């Protein structure tokens, strides 16, 4: 069964978080937000068995988000934002963040992982900030490389987000 | 591969947490901020280069108009189309000067005080 994701509602929640922390400019400091929620962020070297697949996870017991230390900075930022998504969206049982999301029908965490991804994208690249910077620097939707560097996100993520920007 | 909380515990139990302090302000976020600053500086330099190109073109155009006008003026005098005693001569001089001032004003206003241009 394919469940739908309410991106507008998720974007609204991401905006509330940005508002709560007074963040109006990129790069959105997801670590600061996590700390504000009483959550630590730690970098670890994932065991070799998982290093290729796992980007990070949140451990409820020690209220810590773990990110793979060898990942690129933008990947780490996305991982933190993704894990914050699980918390803000009230997910109970969720998976570690895999580098490539599993799409098979039987994967039980597919829906909530997609929602957390949507939250992370809305948090790191909110519409109002994107429009502001496109206008400020006379950029177009095809300037995703430049925008990705300004927002501290992946190029492909920015390209996809700009493509769907109203 | 284990899933959910089992996988998290499996990873945590196999990772020594010694030497993994919490990420602070000097972390990867600072690196991303640095990348942003570099990109904005790059966009600024690109903009200045574009502005120089436009400046060069407009200045070249203005110089061409002035040279052509002077050429016509000299020819007109030599060919007796106009004379120094001609009362209209002063009008030609005034018009030329007005055109130069107007051209200069256009360049200054259009390129130095352009609302849509970013400044750094």
Would you list which residues of chain B are within 8 Å, Cβ to Cβ, of chain A? 1, 3-5, 7-8, 11-12, 14-15, 17, 20-23, 27-29, 31-33, 35-36, 38-40, 42-43, 47, 116, 118
Query: With an 8 Å Cβ cutoff, is A150 touching chain B?
Result: yes
CA distance A2 to A8: 18
Q: Which of A43, A59, A149 sits opposite B8 (nearest CB)?
A: A59
**pLDDT for the residue numbered B93:** 80
CB contact under 8 Å between A41 and B23, yes or no, is yes
pLDDT at B78 over 50: yes
Q: Which residue has the higher pLDDT, B23 or A13?
A: A13
Closest chain A CA to residue B42 = A146
Confidence of residue B2 (pLDDT cuts 50, 70, 90): low
By percentage, how much of chain A surpasses pLDDT 70?
90
- Of the listed ranges A46-60, A89-103, B86-100, the one predicted with least confidence: A89-103
CB contact under 8 Å between B4 and A95, yes or no, is yes
**pLDDT for the residue numbered B120:** 45
Q: Report CA-CA distances (Å) from B97 to A70, B72, B102.
A: 67, 15, 8
**pLDDT for the residue numbered A49:** 80
For residue B60 the two structure tokens come to 């070249």
Q: Which residue has the higher pLDDT, B80 or A50?
A: B80
Highest mean pLDDT (candidates A3-12, A75-84, A91-100, B26-35): A75-84
Q: Report CA-CA distances (Å) from A44 to A56, A66, A95, B27, B65.
A: 9, 6, 17, 13, 68
Q: Report the gap between the CA of A13 and the closest CA in chain B (Å).
A: 22
User: Residues B7-24: what's their mean pLDDT?
Assistant: 68
Name the burial class of residue A141, with classes exposed (0-12), middle (13-18) and buried (19+) by CB atoms within 10 angstroms of its CB: middle
User: Residues A33-46: what's their mean pLDDT?
Assistant: 91
* Alpha helices (H) along chain B: 4-14, 28-78, 89-107
DSSP state of B113: S
**pLDDT for the residue numbered A72:** 93
Q: pTM (2 decimals)?
A: 0.74
Q: Report the gap between the CA of A28 and the closest CA in chain B (Å).
A: 8
Cα A1 from chain centroid? Answer: 25
Query: Coil, strand, or helix at residue B22?
Result: strand
Q: Report the gap between the CA of A9 and the closest CA in chain B (Å).
A: 26
**pLDDT for the residue numbered B26:** 57
**pLDDT for the residue numbered A1:** 47
Q: From the candidates A33, A37, A66, which should be mutated to test the interface with B, based on the most B CB atoms within 10 A?
A: A66
């Amino acid at each position: 069964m394919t469940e739908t994701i309410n991106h507008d509602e998720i974007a609204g929640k991401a905006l509330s978080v940005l508002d709560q922390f007074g963040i109006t400019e990129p790069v959105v400091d997801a670590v600061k937000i996590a700390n504000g929620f009483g959550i630590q962020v730690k970098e670890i070297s994932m065991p070799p068995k998982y290093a290729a697949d796992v980007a990070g996870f949140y451990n409820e017991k020690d209220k810590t988000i773990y990110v793979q230390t060898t990942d690129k900075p933008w990947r780490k930022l996305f991982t933190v934002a993704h894990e914050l998504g699980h918390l803000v969206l009230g997910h109970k049982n969720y998976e570690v963040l895999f580098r490539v999301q599993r799409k098979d029908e039987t994967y039980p965490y597919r829906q909530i992982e997609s929602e957390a991804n949507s939250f992370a994208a809305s948090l790191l690249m909110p519409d109002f900030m994107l429009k502001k910077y496109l206008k400020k620097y006379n950029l177009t939707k095809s300037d995703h490389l430049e925008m990705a560097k300004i927002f501290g996100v992946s190029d492909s993520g920015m390209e996809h987000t700009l493509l769907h920007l109203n | 591969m284990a899933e959910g909380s089992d996988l998290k515990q499996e990873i945590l139990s196999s990772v020594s947490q010694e030497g993994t302090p919490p990420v602070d302000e000097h972390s990867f976020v600072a690196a991303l901020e640095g990348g942003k600053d570099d990109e904005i500086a790059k966009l600024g330099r690109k903009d200045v280069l574009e502005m120089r190109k436009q400046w060069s073109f407009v200045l070249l155009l203005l110089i061409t108009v002035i040279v052509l006008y002077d050429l016509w003026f000299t020819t007109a005098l030599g060919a007796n189309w106009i004379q120094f005693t001609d009362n209209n001569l002063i009008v030609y001089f005034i018009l030329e000067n007005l055109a130069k001032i107007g051209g200069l004003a256009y360049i200054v206003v259009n390129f130095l005080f352009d609302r849509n241009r970013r400044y750094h």
